[in-house]
Structures are given as structure tokens and as C-alpha cells.
Amino acid sequence: MAIKTETMTLNMGPQHPSTHGVFRLVVDVDGETIKRVEPVMGYLHRGSEKLAERFVYTQFIPYTDRLDYMNAMTNNYVYCAAVEKLLEWEIPERAEYLRVITMELNRIASHLVWWGTYLLDIGALSPFLYAFRDRDHCLDLLNEISGARMTFNYMRIGGVKWDSPDGWIDRVKEKVKVLRENINEYDTLVTGNEIFQSRTIGVGKLTKEQILDWGISGPLARASGLKMDIRKDEPYSIYDRFDFDIPTQEEGDVYARYKVRIAELYESLKIIEQACEQIPEGDIITKKGKRIMMIKPPAGEAYTRAEASKGEIGVYAISNGKNKPYRIKLRRPSFVNVAILQELLIGKNIQDLVAIFGSLDIVLGEVDA
Amino acid sequence: MDLLFMAIYAVAVLGGLLGAVTYAILFERKVIGYMQIRTGPNRYGPWGMFQTIADVMKLLMKEDIIPAQADRKIFVLAPVVAFAPAFMVFAVISWSENLYAADLNIGVLYFLGVSSMTMLGVLMGGWSSNNKYSLLGAIRGVSQMISYELPLVLSVLGIVILVGSLNLRDIVFFQQDVGLWFIILQFPAFIIYMISAIAELNRSPFDLPEAESELVSGYHTEYSGFRYAFYMLAEYTYAIAIAAFATTLFFGGWLGPAFLPGIVWFLLKMCLFMFVWFWLRATLPRARVENLMQFCWKVLIPLALLNIVVTAIIKVWMGW
């Protein structure tokens, strides 16, 4: 006799612990196998792009902090760079170096949060606290220079807001050494663990074609064997002055993404070290940049992109010659990357759902903007 | 008179157990805390001594919520069903040479039989909550606990063959006579026992039934207040019971150098087991569902059977 079975609709989120924010997945499960999945987003929608049109250019910078709040520096940068491109301004050397150092510190902090919370998702409790210990090293430094721990609001059009405090560069150098040792510790704690490997190897594979079709960027693309990193491909700021590699993996599974992100931590440390050696004295902001009400780019449009910790972040700005932007369009990597979720999850079980979803490393502030 | 003694003993064990569970939780939080480069609870009392008591007080004072769609009777009964067998098994545990409740000649059988009933509490709780996460947690929990029951039982059989008795006290006396603990004589069985015990207890890395990142809180998602406390009590009581059982079987029960009384040795060995579980929890991620079952049926059970065969051959050969 056939037993009558039926699929069950499981509503994961918006308060489910594994969604890291207010993301909702409506999942049809047969036992534990996923038959259909429907992502629901928009719980954190704030209309950032529309808001931009009502503000003076500089006033929008704090809003970029709140897109990907784990990696606010790069958001700051890419917006400022777009406006600077419209203005065709030269940025002081020292400001560029400070930008790079803070962006890379922030990238490390962002990857560490991912590392900790991801392992928490797949059931390991301790790495989370180790990650946050080291993330705090980064945040302390960023706090010292910008006055905030997450939403920095540090960069300005034409430079940066604050110069580094006395001895800050030396402290960064020290912390880089500490971080490098601590990150080595992670490898021994997690990477070789068999349970961890069984949870991640071969799970959630993305092929090169899928990456290109869906416009996925960042560590996800690099884990599938695509050697693309805007810092190298189209060097912005002063990234062409540093010697660093783009870590890639061929497999495209969750484990490959893990390894890419860990390797990127070392590359970021390398960049910070070099930047700390090279940093010159000088101004931190152009003279014109200080008069924020008077920033009036000539009519025109500009697109800038940068490598955020989640992928390619882009800002498309249109100016009509006034001191407020006519239109700002944000390309948010988390939003683009999460789109593939539906295709990835069919046929997997709930346990893999968490492992795959976590590996995409999305931040809801950025998905919903 | 016997009845009176039994009642007093049961109350004493229950009281002791409540204290033990309270401090087992503190112990766990401290151990995990120090492994995670933090200090664990330290606000209430010296060294956080009253933290768990405060937590329990909070749980007791909470509103007692039963979901409207829940199956009331089963929902109310489930935590009790989970706790009762975990407590009942203490009857056959012999704390020291003279301190024990029942000198049962089928002690091992009684322990294993009664303890497997805790599974019912999980199933009832998960089913009656009428919550999808609870149901999934219960399905996982029950399949896991039934599967791991087998290697657990099989691993103990080797010892039973060697001793020739199901009496837990006889097993300890045997270890005294031979002068070796069964952890040495039956090392493979010990490993199998430890792994299946962790799965039985739903502890990390086999904590799939209550995987908080997937199933919110598993079968006790809908439970709050006192009933939740009861589930926690059941879980830790069962952990202590399994640790006590393992101490008796593999670590020579109350045996130890004479400068400390037997019961102290017994408790110390139990703490060691508890520590190992906490340690694993701080270290390992959660295993995969498929791997969990495969590991049980394809690795542990054949190994346990092999162990029994080898033990039987050795027993006949050595003429013990």
C-alpha cells in the first residue's frame, strides 16, 4: 500500500537564525529534500537610491555605510570615486593610501565575520568568537581613525575626513603581524577538520558558465576558477602600486569559496603592509572638497566600480550641474549574487541549504538597499 | 522499612541530581567559555556560581505557553516522558562499593532498555508542538537515536561476555579482580561507546535534532518556561547517566587509589566524561545527516560486531 505523502511548506525567515538578517525563504520540502524555493526580500528596503537625490553629494556618504554594513569603507570609496570622476579631481596621495589601508582592514573584518558566522551556521561554535576577537583588532584601528566601528562615514569627496592619529600606522603594522598569526590558527582549527570538509566539499557547486550567466562576482566567481578582481583588472585608487595575488580555486563548491576567502585575508594583509611602508606625508583632502555645499559636478554621468568583500560594487551617478545628484544607481554585489539561490537549492536538503546560503555571504542591508 | 529507604534514596538522588545538573551546565559554559577565549558566566556569585540558578528561576517564572494548535495532552506529557527514564536508570548505578539502590542482576539490560525510552519524549514533543521545525527535529532525533542505540548496545556486549554477568556491580568487581579497567581490555568498544553515546545524547557534533541554524531549536522549539527547563533537565540528566554508565563499564566504577573514597573517584571519572563532551562541543562543526547514518550502519555496527566476535574467541581461548 502506498503511503500518502505530501510536501511541506517551510517558511524560513525573516527571523530564522540562519538568514543573518531579514531574508525570507519559502521552501517546499519533501522530507528534508527541497522541491521549490522562493526567496522573499525587501524587508530592509529603505529607498537609498531615491534618498540620494534629495541630499547634497556629501550627505549621501553615511547612507552608503548602511548598504553593506560589514564592508562600509569600500562603499564609501566607490561612491566618492564616482563623484570625483564627475568632478575630475586629483586626490592627495596620503588620502589614497589611507583609503586603501582602511578598505583592506575593512575587507579583513568582513571576511572574518563571514568566516565566524558561516561556521556557526554549520554548527561549530568556537570559530565565531575567534573571528570576532580578530575582527575587533581591525575595528579598533578603524574606530581610532574614523570614530566609528561599523558605519564609518570616513571618506569624503576629494579625500578622507580624518588624518591618522599619532602612531596609528605603527599600530596597524603590529596588528597585521598579530592577525597573520591568528589567521594561521584558523587553518589548524577548521580547514582540515573532516566533518567540516564533508559538509562543504562538493556542496553548492557553481560552474563558470553559471557565474557568467548570473553576473556573479567576487570570491564566488574566484572560487569557480574565474580570475577576476577589479583591483587587478581595472586598478582603481592606487591598487596598481601593490604586489598581491588573486587567489582562485577551480572547484566552485563551498569549500573552494572558503579557501578563497581565507587566502584573500593574507593578500589584504600584504597590501596593508606595503601601503604602511609607502604612505607619504601630505594633505588628506583637496581644498575644494572641504566646501561640501559647493561640490557641483558638471553635467554628465560616471560609473565607478570597486572590489568589495562580496563582489563588484558599482555606482552610476548622473549629475545635472546642481549640488545634488540627479540620479544614483547602485550595483550591489549581494543582491546580484543571491539571485542564483533558487537554482542552487533545488534537490538539496535543509542542511545544505544553510551551508550554501551562508557561503554566498550576503548582507541584507545591501540586498535590499 | 525498605520502601522508606527507597523513597529517601530516590529523593536524595533527585536532589543530588538537580544540583549536579545545575553545576554541569555551569561547568559546560565555563569550559566552552575558556575554550572560546572568554570567561563564561561570572556575574552571579563567585565564579558565576549562581548563574544557572538565576536562569532556572527565570524559566520558572515565565508564562507557561502551550500553542493553540498543539496536541495539549501529549505536549504536556512529553517533557516528563523525556525526563523519567533518564532518572530511572540511576537505580542501577552503584556510586561506591556500598552506596547503591538496586543490585539488579540484569543491570545493563535495564539501563539500556529504560534509557532508550527517552526517545519517546523527543518524538512526542516534536509531534505535538504542531510546528514544522519541531517535526523535522523530532524525525531526525528519533532516527538518529534508534540507529545509535544499536552500536551502543553492541559495544557493551563485549564486556558482558568477558564478565559473564549483566550486573553492573559484578562488572566493577571483575575489573577489580583482573586489575585492569575495561578501557584497556575493550578499547575499540570504548571508542564505539563514546561515539554512539554522543549521538544518543544529541550532543555536538551529532546535535542535528536541535541544529539551531537549520531547525531553530529542533523538537523543543515551541517549549518555553518550565517545560523547556524540564527538557534541559532531561538532557543533562541523561548525559550524567550515560557518563555514570560509562564510568562503571570502562573506568572501573568506584575503583581508584585508596586515599580518596570510592564515590569521589566515581564522580571525578564522570566529570572527565562530561568534560570530553563539552570539549567536543566547543571544537567540532555539525555532521551531515547522511554521513551520520552511514557512519552508524556501515562503520560502527560492523566494528562492534567484530569486537564481540573477537572478544568471544579470546574468552574461549584464554578460558576466562
Q: pLDDT tens for residues B94-107?
A: 887 777 777 778 88
Chain B residues with CB inside 8 Å of A258's CB? none
pLDDT at residue A67 tops 70 = yes
Write A145-151 long-range contacts (CB < 8 A, 24+): A145/A98, A145/A102, A146/A102, A150/A65, A150/A69, A150/A70, A150/A72, A151/A62, A151/A65, A151/A66, A151/A69, A151/A72
| Domain contains B40 | no
| Domain contains B191 | yes
pLDDT at residue A99 tops 80 = yes
pLDDT at residue B212 tops 70 = no
Chain A residues with CB inside 8 Å of B288's CB? 195, 198-199, 351
CA separation for the pair B173, B194 (Å, rounded): 22
CA separation for the pair A35, A29 (Å, rounded): 6
Give the pLDDT of residue A123.
78
Task: Answer yes or no: are the C-beta atoms of A298 and A292 closer than 8 Å.
Answer: no
Instruction: Give A24 to chain B, closest Cα distance, Å.
Output: 13
At residue A1 the predicted structure's pLDDT band, cuts being 50, 70 and 90, is: low
CA separation for the pair A264, A78 (Å, rounded): 20
pLDDT at residue A18 tops 70 = no
Nearest to B289 among A17, A32, A133 (CB): A32
Give the pLDDT of residue B291.
79
Give the pLDDT of residue A241.
87
pLDDT at residue B221 tops 80 = no
Q: How many CB atoms lie within 10 A of CB B118?
A: 25
At residue B126 the predicted structure's pLDDT band, cuts being 50, 70 and 90, is: confident
Nearest to A121 among B213, B282, B287 (CB): B213
What interface predicted TM-score (ipTM) does this complex get? 0.76
Task: Answer yes or no: are the C-beta atoms of B233 and B83 closer than 8 Å.
Answer: yes
Q: What is the overall mean pLDDT for chain A?
A: 85
Specify the range with the lowest mean pLDDT, choosing from A90-94, A237-241, A288-292, A316-320: A288-292
Percent pLDDT > 90 in chain A is 1
| Domain contains B91 | yes
Give the pLDDT of residue B211.
66
Give the pLDDT of residue A191.
82
CA separation for the pair B265, B287 (Å, rounded): 33
Nearest to B286 among A8, A123, A129 (CB): A123
| Domain contains B37 | no
Chain B residues with CB inside 8 Å of A10's CB? 132-133, 136
Residues 6+ apart with CB under 8 A from B104: B91, B92, B110, B167, B168
At residue B213 the predicted structure's pLDDT band, cuts being 50, 70 and 90, is: low
Give the pLDDT of residue B285.
80
Give the pLDDT of residue B16.
86
Instruction: Give B37 to chain A, closest Cα distance, Å.
Output: 7
- Domain count of chain B? 1
| Domain contains B201 | yes
pLDDT at residue B214 tops 70 = no
pLDDT at residue A249 tops 80 = yes
Structural domain span for residue B287: 61-318
At residue A19 the predicted structure's pLDDT band, cuts being 50, 70 and 90, is: low
Instruction: Give A121 to chain B, closest Cα distance, Å.
Output: 5
- β A155-156/A159-160 pair status: antiparallel
| Domain contains B132 | yes
Is A124–B284 a contact, with Cβ atoms under 8 angstroms apart?
Answer: yes
| Domain contains B266 | yes
pLDDT tens digits along B148-159: 888 888 888 888
Largest CA distance in chain B: 64
pLDDT at residue B306 tops 80 = yes
Give the pLDDT of residue A39.
84
CA separation for the pair B186, B194 (Å, rounded): 12
Task: Answer yes or no: are the C-beta atoms of A332 and A68 closer than 8 Å.
Answer: yes
Task: Answer yes or no: are the C-beta atoms of B137 and B210 closer than 8 Å.
Answer: yes
Helices assigned H by DSSP within chain A: 48-52, 61-65, 72-87, 93-121, 126-146, 168-186, 194-200, 208-214, 219-223, 230-233, 254-278, 333-338, 341-345, 350-359, 364-368
| Domain contains B41 | no
CA separation for the pair B217, A154 (Å, rounded): 40
CB of B213 within 8 Å of a chain A CB? The answer is yes
Give the pLDDT of residue B117.
85
Specify the range with the lowest mean pLDDT, choosing from A270-274, B201-205, B215-219: B215-219
CA separation for the pair A201, A42 (Å, rounded): 32
C-alpha cell at A276: 604602511
